[in-house]
Amino acid sequence: MVCLVCPKSCLLSVSCDQESFIVENNSCDRGLEFARKELTDPERMLTSTVQIAFGELPLVSVRSDRPVKKNELEILVERLNKMILTAPVQSGQIVMSALGENKVNIMATRTIEKS
Ligand code: SF4
């Protein structure tokens, strides 16, 4: 697997059985932790867009304030796809809160004024 922690993108070699795993080719310990997390409890930051009514643009970019369980990403994106906000929306405004196991908040990443 490719380590996603830093731009070096080390190609990790991971072998495992039911009780343990071995990580090789990691240039630092963060790669070891990345592999452990990927194998046991993978998470990702969620980035997406949400529709806006009466705004200067039709969509606003959004992101989660912390990582989301990977197996919850699809259902959260589906919920965001069905959502329509009303302009104005401020950068940093929470548009959905306490989602999923990690209780993540989804926030706007730019300001959209009323048209
Ligand atoms: S193993 Fe370390 S150096 Fe390599 S990509 Fe991961 S964080 Fe970066």
pLDDT at 98: 85
Cβ-proximal residues to 39 (8 Å cutoff; 6+ apart), any chain: 14, 16, 21
pLDDT, tens only, 62-115: 999 999 999 999 999 999 999 999 999 999 999 999 888 889 999 999 999 999
Pocket test residue of 23, 24, 34 for ligand 1, highest count of atoms within 8 A of CB: 34
Supply 24's token pair. 């090789």
Residue extents of the structural domains in the chain: 1-40, 47-108
Q: Are 104 and 46 in contact (CB under 8 A)?
A: yes
Check residue 94 and give its pLDDT.
97
Ligand 1 centroid–CA 54 distance in Å is: 44
Tell me the per-residue pLDDT of 18-39, one tens digit each, with 9 for 90 and over.
788 899 999 999 999 999 999 9
The binding-site residues of ligand 1, defined as CB within 6 angstroms of any ligand atom, are 3, 5-6, 8-10, 26-28, 30-31, 34
The fold of the 47-108 domain, in CATH, is CPE0013-like fold (3.10.530)
User: What is the pTM assigned to this prediction?
Assistant: 0.81
